[in-house]
Amino acid sequence: MNFTYPKNEKLKSKITIGLLFTEGKSVSKYPLRLVYKAGSFGNPEVLGEKIKMGVSVSKKNFKKAVDRNYFKRVLRETYRLNKHLLIDNLDQPYSFMFFYQTKDRLTYEEINTKTIQLFEKFIAQNIKKPESESDSISEI
């Protein structure tokens, strides 16, 4: 299993970030929020990419850059260790923005647990389950 967060997985495109905020959907698990949008990333030469992930912590909640940077590092680390939950269940490329949305200073273990729950909630809501055979059989 590949537990890396390479440069080509980082969401940096202002256009894609703008689309996430205007057209994206979100799923939350307090204090985390995941905003996502399905579709390609506009870079046709890079094939095989399934995810672009960006991380954000509000300046409103943490005034000092040191604190914001700490929580961004924690979010990136929890994503890096748990991204296999997303990659194994995605059938098309997705762009994600990952937010920490509270003034509370949770521990790494609490954030990691919430990240796993958030990813599982995303998968449950967005991954289409195959139709049961009884639904697809037509009446004679």
Each of the 140 residues of the chain gets a pLDDT tens digit; together they read 788 888 889 999 899 999 999 999 999 999 999 999 988 666 544 545 788 999 999 999 999 999 999 999 999 999 999 999 998 888 889 999 999 999 999 999 999 999 999 999 999 998 765 554 444 444 44
Both tokens of 97, joined, read 């923005």
Tell me which residue of 40, 32, 51 sits closest to 98, measured CA to CA.
32
Domains of the chain: 8-125 (3.30.230.10)
Q: Using an 8 Å Cβ cutoff, are 74 and 108 in contact?
A: yes
Pairing relationship of beta strands 51-57 and 94-100 according to DSSP bridges: parallel
- 90 phi and psi angles, rounded to 5 deg: -90, 140
Q: Using an 8 Å Cβ cutoff, are 123 and 86 in contact?
A: yes
What distance in Å separates the CA atoms of residue 38 and residue 25, rounded to the nearest whole number? Answer: 9
Sign of the alpha-carbon torsion through 1, 53, 78, 36: negative
